Structure 1
Amino acid sequence: MKNSKFLFILMLVSLALVSCKKTNTDPDGDITTGLHVQDGKYLADKCGNKVVLRGVNIGSVYAVNFGLKELEEIEKTGANTVRIVLERHYKDWSNGGALTPLTEAKIEPVITSCLAKGMIPVLELHDFTGSANVAADLPKATQWWTGAGIKSMLQKYQKSIIINIANEPDNGAASDASYADANTNALKVLRDAGYTCPIMIDAPNWGKDHVFFLYKGQALMDADPLHNLLFSVHAYWPTNGPFGNYSDAKITADFAAMKQENLPIVIGELAIADIQNGLAYNINYRLLMKLCKENEFGYIAWWWGFNNNPGANNQLSMTNNGLYSGLAGSGKAIAVDDANSIKNTAKRTCQ
Structure 2
Amino acid sequence: MTQEQFNTRYAAVIKQLRKAGIGLPLVIDAAGWGRNETLLLNGAEALLQADPDKNLIFSWHIWDSGITTGRISSTIDKSIQKNFMLLIGEFAPMEVKCMCCIPYHFIMEYCQQKGIGWLARSWGPGNGDCAAMDMTKTDAFDSLYGWGKEVAETHPFSIKNTSMRVLSLFK
TM-score by length of 1: 0.45
Q: Structure 2: which amino acid aligns with 1:292?
A: C
Q: Structure 1: which amino acid aligns with 2:95?
A: D
- Note if 1:342 corresponds to 2:163: no
Counterpart position of 2:69: 248
What whole-Å deviation, never above 9, does each CA across 1:196-243 have from its counterpart, x for those lacking one? 11110100122111122321101101111111110000011322xxxx
Counterpart position of 2:118: 299
CA contact under 8 A between 2:98 and 2:132: conserved in structure 1? no
Q: What is the alpha-carbon distance in structure 2 between the residues aligned to residue 184 and residue 280 of structure 1?
A: 34
- Note if 1:262 corresponds to 2:83: yes
Which among 99, 102, 105 is matched to residue 286 of structure 1?
Answer: 105
How far residue 311 of structure 1 moved from its aligned partner, in angstroms, is 8.0
Percent pairwise identity: 30
Q: What is the alpha-carbon distance in structure 1 between the residues aligned to residue 37 and residue 144 of structure 2?
A: 30
Q: Which has the higher helix share?
A: 2
Matches within 5 A, 1:76-91: none
- What secondary structure does 2:157 align onto? coil
How far residue 287 of structure 1 moved from its aligned partner, in angstroms, is 0.4
Matches within 5 A, 1:228-243: 228-239=55-66
Higher relative contact order (CA 8 A, sep 6+): 1
Counterpart position of 1:47: none
Counterpart position of 2:41: 214
Gapped runs of 5+ residues in structure 2? Answer: none
Q: What is the alpha-carbon distance in structure 1 between the residues aligned to residue 102 and residue 77 of structure 2?
A: 18
CA contact under 8 A between 2:127 and 2:134: conserved in structure 1? no
Q: Structure 1: which amino acid aligns with 2:56?
A: L
Counterpart position of 2:136: 319
What's the Cα RMSD here? 2.0
Matches within 5 A, 1:35-184: 174-184=1-11
Classify 1:288/1:182 alpha carbon distance in 2 versus 1 (closer, same or farther; 3 Å): same
- What secondary structure does 1:315 align onto? helix
Q: What is the alpha-carbon distance in structure 2 between the residues aligned to residue 343 and residue 292 of structure 1?
A: 15
Q: Structure 2: which amino acid aligns with 1:347?
A: M
- What secondary structure does 1:222 align onto? helix
Q: Structure 1: which amino acid aligns with 2:49?
A: D
Rg comparison, structure with higher value:
1
Q: What is the alpha-carbon distance in structure 1 between the residues aligned to residue 76 and residue 86 of structure 2?
A: 10
What whole-Å deviation, never above 9, does each CA across 1:87-146 have from its counterpart, x for those lacking one? xxxxxxxxxxxxxxxxxxxxxxxxxxxxxxxxxxxxxxxxxxxxxxxxxxxxxxxxxxxx
Q: Which has the higher strand share?
A: 1
Q: Provide the aligned length of Structure 1 versus Structure 2.
A: 167
Q: What is the alpha-carbon distance in structure 2 between the residues aligned to residue 201 and residue 195 of structure 1?
A: 15
Q: Structure 2: which amino acid aligns with 1:270?
A: F
- What secondary structure does 1:301 align onto? coil
Which among 223, 229, 241 is matched to residue 50 of structure 2?
Answer: 223
CA contact under 8 A between 2:48 and 2:56: conserved in structure 1? yes
Gapped runs of 5+ residues in structure 1? Answer: 1-173, 240-245
How far residue 324 of structure 1 moved from its aligned partner, in angstroms, is 1.7
Counterpart position of 1:25: none
